[in-house]
Amino acid sequence: PLLRQIHQADGQPLTAEQNRILEAQLRTQRELLNSLLQGGDTLLLELTKLKVSNGQLEDALKEVNEATHRYLFWTSDVRPMTIAWPLEIAQDLRRLISLDTFSQLGKASVMMLTSKETILPLFGALILVGCSIYSRRYFTRFLERSAAKVGKVTQDHFWLTLRTLFWSILVASPLPVLWMTLGYGLREAWPYPLAVAIGDGVTATVPLLWVVMICATFARPNGLFIAHFGWPRERVSRGMRYYLMSIGLIVPLIMALMMFDNLDDREFSGSLGRLCFILICGALAVVTLSLKKAGIPLYLNKEGSGDNITNHMLWNMMIGAPLVAILASAVGYLATAQALLARLETSVAIWFLLLVVYHVIRRWMLIQRRRLAVDRA
């Protein structure tokens, strides 16, 4: 029907020869369009296969790296520091900036904000942060009411401590959840390796950020440490003196260290990564020294006192461990120092968790003892 509507320039119908040529051209056009559609489908299929293969390759590389860190963590992985190390830092920093850093981050951010898989978790995390900010005044009033009842025979109950523990953890969680969501969004921007490496670093710092923010909530004047556990306020304030440094310095440094470990086969680990690790160790030594001066016990003797030789030895080992790690990284054992220091700090985190559990149980026993004394009286 379309052929019948086509005429020559003077309005006359097409001749038989012209119709034959037109039909041949239309047939060729249809064949080309079909070939183009088939090629597009094949291209999409190959891109999907490429993405799956790329994910499998990344998983295999992660398994190889984990096996290497597990079985060969004691071997040297970077060159020892020399006089030219500051020059290497400057050169690698220039190369890092020349990797189109800001352009990749911008494109990854656009991809994160336009993808349904990442925008929904990000939006949910922002809602949680908003709810946390809005409910903070109610949480403060709850802490004041709970602290006023602690120590009173007729009003003090163990569930006050449990509720304070639960709500403190809940209030401290939205910001780490948002931080984790940002890391997840950057890791999903797979066409941009720098953004993926930054996402890995952000995700790796979530547990530390969460623990530090929970401790800050526990350390409020009406919080768990002071009002419920009865810890001296001056000691708690001294222990939390470097809270802002932990958030503003240690967390970004760990993020940068993990980014350099996952970027371009650890190309920058010997220079920028080692610099970040040395700064982390220095900050950890300062924080550990502050905790020791605050009088927080690592070991209690039979009298329940932390003033003993074993406690002082443990604290000195904790302070000296980051300094030994700095020396090990300087002579080339960067991965070994990272692995051993991470295990040591994980042990300290587990010890702190057990310390909180111990004081929760101790408070329950104190309340039960007080009730028995009142019943006997």
pLDDT digits (tens, 9 = 90+) for 317-373: 888 999 999 999 998 888 888 888 888 888 888 888 888 898 889 888 888 888 787
> Mean per-residue pLDDT for 106-119?
85
Which two three-digit tokens encode residue 180?
């984790």
Burial of 193 (0-12, 13-18, 19+ CB in 10 A): middle
> Mean per-residue pLDDT for 213-241?
86
pLDDT in tens, 47-87: 999 989 988 998 888 788 778 767 776 777 788 888 888 89
Residue type, 190: W
Percent of the chain topping pLDDT 70 = 94
Burial of 2 (0-12, 13-18, 19+ CB in 10 A): exposed
Round to whole Å and give the CA distance between 259 and 272: 10
Supply the pLDDT for residue 104: 81
Which two three-digit tokens encode residue 287?
């924080």
CB < 8 Å & 24+ apart, contacts of 203-208: 204/254, 204/255, 204/258, 205/179, 205/251, 205/254, 205/255, 205/258, 206/176, 206/179, 206/180, 208/246, 208/250, 208/251, 208/254
Round to whole Å and give the CA distance between 193 and 75: 27
Beta-bridge mates of residue 13: 7
On average, the pLDDT of the chain sits at 84
* Position 279 confidence tier, pLDDT thresholds 50, 70, 90: very high
* Position 10 confidence tier, pLDDT thresholds 50, 70, 90: low
Closest CA to 196 of 346, 204, 56: 204
Q: How far is CA 288 from the centre of its chain?
A: 22
> Mean per-residue pLDDT for 144-160?
83
Residue 201 and residue 258 in contact, taking contact as beta carbons nearer than 8 Å: yes
Q: Write down the pTM of the prediction.
A: 0.75
pLDDT in tens, 242-261: 777 777 888 899 999 988 88
Supply the pLDDT for residue 8: 67
Round to whole Å and give the CA distance between 163 and 304: 27
Q: At what angle are helices 101-114 and 116-134 packed, to 10 degrees?
A: 80
Residue 278 reports pLDDT greater than 90: yes
Supply the pLDDT for residue 76: 76
Supply the pLDDT for residue 6: 66
The answer to which of 8-17, 53-62, 267-276 has the lowest mean pLDDT is 8-17
Supply the pLDDT for residue 377: 65
Residue 3 reports pLDDT greater than 60: no
Which two three-digit tokens encode residue 27?
């047939």
Indicate the helix (H) or strand (E) that contains 173: none
Domain ranges of the chain: 2-71, 85-376
CA distances from 72 to 65, 254, 268, 326, 335 (A): 10, 22, 20, 19, 9
The answer to which of 9-18, 267-276, 320-329 has the lowest mean pLDDT is 9-18
Would you say the C-alpha torsion 179, 183, 188, 191 has a positive or negative sign? positive
In the block, which residue shows the tokens 């291209």? Answer: 43
Say which residues have a Cβ less than 8 Å from residue 139's Cβ, sequence separation at least 6: 167, 171
Which two three-digit tokens encode residue 66?
């984990």
